Structure 1
């Protein structure tokens, strides 16, 4: 399980005295604990790895946005700190599909559903997320789906 890998990495980072890595892993663990607390009241609890991947993807997206904003603002030292955190977060994410594989998956789903126009984008996106949600950055996939349906 991904959660166990993160816990053992935290111990290893602490033993090695790697403070930036330890801090990043502690952030991940804190977000996971927050998500666990949110799910206590949920009627259906998703698979643990799915929860972990969802949290990691959200954290990665936040870091990417922060990096862009810091670079626009001329704060490279803050962008570098965010980049270091992003690198740690991405270690635990499943490998992402490249653009060619994403386009192939979109084409297959589009043909399967008989989607022909942008009106069908919601159906295609829902199916894409159901099948490949952990392997895709859905914000990038959204642009690809829109282009395929245009």
Structure 2
């Protein structure tokens, strides 16, 4: 298992940020297909994003279907009290033997939101799992970092 931590600051308050995170239209602006299921008071957001084979290691890309997509599921709290919240996220892609579990820690400071993402990347392949995890970490780090930056302007 590999771990990854990313940080990003947003100019909006925590409630506005969580509302944006649970908005299908925002995800669609980022090039993803999204659907929301309301589980009172929370929202489960499923986000599907195409994964071009050119972004993956060639050994992995050659074994994947031509239209691979990353499926992320976010559990967004709907009843946040105070200045802290936690969003859970899992991600997977069909044909890719890797699972991602993440916690997004959100803290409101002076009407701005500070996000810290802690992700664990694990592979179910015996013996070669560590190599696959190592190859996927830089790809995930770049994609997640880009998404966090783009999410601010969406």
Instruction: Provide TM-score, normalisation by structure 1.
Output: 0.29
Bigger helix fraction: 1
Bigger strand fraction: 2
- Greater RCO, 1 or 2 (C-alpha within 8 Å, sep 6+): 2
